[in-house]
């Protein structure tokens, strides 16, 4: 039976139904970048590719994030960057303000946000853009959205000890008496009521399934695009 754990600020919760004792803990010690901004300058289509031009303010792409926590998380050697997510698929990381992408969907919902070098998103109202392009049926961008960000891919060595759990909320908030996020990691469930980064510990080696769900105040799944999000990562 799954054990549902409610996550409160600065407390760590343990799922007792897994021999590795999977836990998630709020990550603290990252610079806030409260004044950092990301703006879209233009989108051009040529030779079957889209060129995206952004403007970044009060944030240095390519710099290593200076953190106050003293443990290791998977980190990009190329530094701070932009997470670029299309239709809630796994993101691509970009280290310059201009880059090209080949988009396959008829309609593409695009979320881009500033990311620290250890892939933690910058969570302020000016640090992201949400738009859509294409000729297909559009969705309402005023809906409540939860976008999956981390963990992602394959983890090796020391990087398997702590995995960043991070997601991006748009047009919604979570709280103890409002909407919440349910994170299911293998067979362990955690209820999250604060939008913050977390790190996961106690994971076994092998394939790890992760599902994120945006829930209403009654605990029901909110009917919105890309909800829930399901990923598999690998620990070697």
pLDDT in tens, 153-209: 999 999 999 999 999 999 999 999 999 999 999 999 999 999 999 999 999 999 999
pLDDT in tens, 7-31: 443 344 444 344 469 999 999 999 9
Q: Kindly report the backbone phi and psi dihedral angles of residue 170, in degrees, each rounded to the nearest multiple of 5, phi listed first.
A: -130, 130
The pLDDT value given to residue 105: 72
What own/partner pairs with CB < 8 Å and gap ≥ 24 does 219-228 have?
Answer: 219/180, 222/144, 222/172, 222/179, 224/143, 224/144, 224/145, 224/146, 225/88, 225/109, 225/139, 225/143, 225/145, 226/87, 226/88, 226/109, 226/145, 226/146, 226/147, 227/145, 227/146
pLDDT in tens, 70-104: 999 999 999 999 999 999 999 999 999 999 999 98
The pLDDT value given to residue 210: 98
Name the token pair of 39. Answer: 């703006």
The pLDDT value given to residue 114: 99
Q: Tell me how far apart the alpha carbons of residues 16 and 182 are, in angstroms, rounded to a whole number.
A: 17
pLDDT in tens, 24-71: 999 999 999 999 999 999 999 998 899 999 999 999 999 999 999 999
The pLDDT value given to residue 128: 98
The pLDDT value given to residue 16: 39
The pLDDT value given to residue 104: 84
Per DSSP, 160 falls in state G
User: How would you label 114-148 residue by residue, b for 16+ Cβ within 10 Å and e otherwise?
Assistant: bbbbbbbbbbbeebbebebbeeeeeeeeeebbbbb
Spatial contact of 59 and 122, defined as CB atoms under 8 Å apart: yes
Domains of the chain: 4-29+143-235 (2.60.40.10), 37-63+71-134 (2.60.40.10)
Task: Report the length, in residues, of the chain.
Answer: 236
Q: How many other CB atoms are there within 10 angstroms of residue 107's CB atom? A: 14
Q: Tell me how far apart the alpha carbons of residues 199 and 164 are, in angstroms, rounded to a whole number.
A: 4
Kindly report whether the peptide bond that precedes residue 23 is cis, defined as omega within 30 degrees of 0. no
Spatial contact of 114 and 121, defined as CB atoms under 8 Å apart: yes
3-state secondary structure of 158: helix
Q: Tell me how far apart the alpha carbons of residues 12 and 19 are, in angstroms, rounded to a whole number.
A: 17
The pLDDT value given to residue 26: 98
Whether residue 132 is predicted with pLDDT greater than 60 in this model: the reply is yes
Name the token pair of 155. Answer: 């983890």
Q: Tell me how far apart the alpha carbons of residues 195 and 113 are, in angstroms, rounded to a whole number.
A: 15
Q: Tell me how far apart the alpha carbons of residues 173 and 229 are, in angstroms, rounded to a whole number.
A: 17
pTM score, whole prediction: 0.91
The pLDDT value given to residue 12: 45
Q: How are strands ordered across the β-sheet holding 198-201?
A: 13-14, 23-26, 198-201, 163-170, 145-150
């Amino acid at each position: 039976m799954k054990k549902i754990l409610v996550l409160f600020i600065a407390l760590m919760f343990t799922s007792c139904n897994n021999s590795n004792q999977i836990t998630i803990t709020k990550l603290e010690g990252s610079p806030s970048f409260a004044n950092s901004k990301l703006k879209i300058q233009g989108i051009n289509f040529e030779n079957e590719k889209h060129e995206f031009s952004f403007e970044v303010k009060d944030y240095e792409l390519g710099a290593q994030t200076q953190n106050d926590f003293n443990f290791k998380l998977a980190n990009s050697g190329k530094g701070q960057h932009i997470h670029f997510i299309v239709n809630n698929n796994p993101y691509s990381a970009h280290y310059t303000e201009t880059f090209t992408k080949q988009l396959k969907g008829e309609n593409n919902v695009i979320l881009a946000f500033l990311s620290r070098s250890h892939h933690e998103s910058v969570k302020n109202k000016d640090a992201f853009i949400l738009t859509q392009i294409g000729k297909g049926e559009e969705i309402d961008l005023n809906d409540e959205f939860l976008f999956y960000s981390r963990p992602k891919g394959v983890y090796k060595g020391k990087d398997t000890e702590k995995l960043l759990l991070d997601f991006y909320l748009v047009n919604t908030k979570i709280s103890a008496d409002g909407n919440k996020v349910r994170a299911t990691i293998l067979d362990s469930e955690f209820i999250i009521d604060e939008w913050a980064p977390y790190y996961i510990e106690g994971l076994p080696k092998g394939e790890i399934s992760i599902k994120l769900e945006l829930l209403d105040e009654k605990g029901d799944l909110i009917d919105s695009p890309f909800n829930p999000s399901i990923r598999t990562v690998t620990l070697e």
